[in-house]
Amino acid sequence: MLRIIDARTGEPVDAAPARRGLTRVEAHTGGFDVTALRVLLVADLLVRALELGGTPVWALLDEERQRAELRAGATALGVRPFEDGRDAAAGLGEAQVLHVVREGGAEPDGVRVVVAPVHAAAPPEEADPAALRLALLSRRRSVPAQLDAAALADAHDTLVRWRRAVADWARRPSRPIPDEVRGELRTAWEHDLDLPEVLAVLRRVETASDVPDGARFETYAYADRLLGLDLTRDLGTPA
């Protein structure tokens, strides 16, 4: 069960409703900049984590300014489309509402998931969007992120290495994800969306001597359903 810290109380709450029903995830970006993209990314991760747990989700963007820029930036970052937040007034009978907001930004009623700022004046135009996504995932959302050349280069190198490894592991006989590893992944992302710990689990699996290559492949493919890094992109390419 995914539990998330409510910024109003500082206490964890169930992200999915107690009774089975719809959860609304509403992103409040406060304009367009890199921090706004981080807000959308966190909202996207919430949606993915809830869906992996079997919870139906309605994702909304509550922003009137620079909507075209926000949507284009989100698409480049691998964030799935959000509906217009103005439709939220009608409601769909949702049993839980989660508001994803920037630090110091909107204060809507309901559970608030606060996202710390990104220290960059604008989205780096030359950055690989997938590397940008990984760089943002590498810090907890409550911690300010520094998007400098070193962070982006490290994320790019990690992506290249992982995609090549996944393509290589896919050529080996398939093996199930070890129960312990699956448990570690679920525990990490269900504990307040601890994405850095999810990435740490993948790094351990990458070099673990007791995990067969086929199980490494299944582990990375499974985790990527949450991470959205297209880790299987190089499948079928020459070794």
Instruction: Answer whether residue 181 shows pLDDT above 70.
Output: yes
> Where do the domains of the chain lie, and which CATH numbers do they carry?
3-115 (3.40.50), 152-227 (1.20.120)
34: its two tokens: 């890199």
pLDDT at residue 236 in the model = 77
Instruction: Answer whether residue 112 shows pLDDT above 90.
Output: yes
Q: Kindly report, residue by residue over 7-26, the tens digit of the pLDDT.
A: 999 999 999 876 677 899 99
181: its two tokens: 């590893």
What's the pTM? 0.93
Residue 35 to residue 79: CA distance in whole angstroms: 14
Which of 40, 135, 148 lies closest to 85, judged by CA? 40
Length of the chain in residues, anyone?
Answer: 239
Q: Kindly report, residue by residue over 33-58, the tens digit of the pLDDT.
A: 999 999 999 999 999 999 999 999 99
pLDDT at residue 106 in the model = 84
| 3-class state of residue 215 by DSSP | helix
HEC string of 169-184?
Answer: HCCCCCCCCCHHHHHH
Q: Please, are residues 22 and 12 in contact by the beta-carbon 8 Å criterion?
A: no
Which of 13, 190, 41 lies closest to 97, judged by CA? 13
Instruction: Answer whether residue 89 shows pLDDT above 60.
Output: no
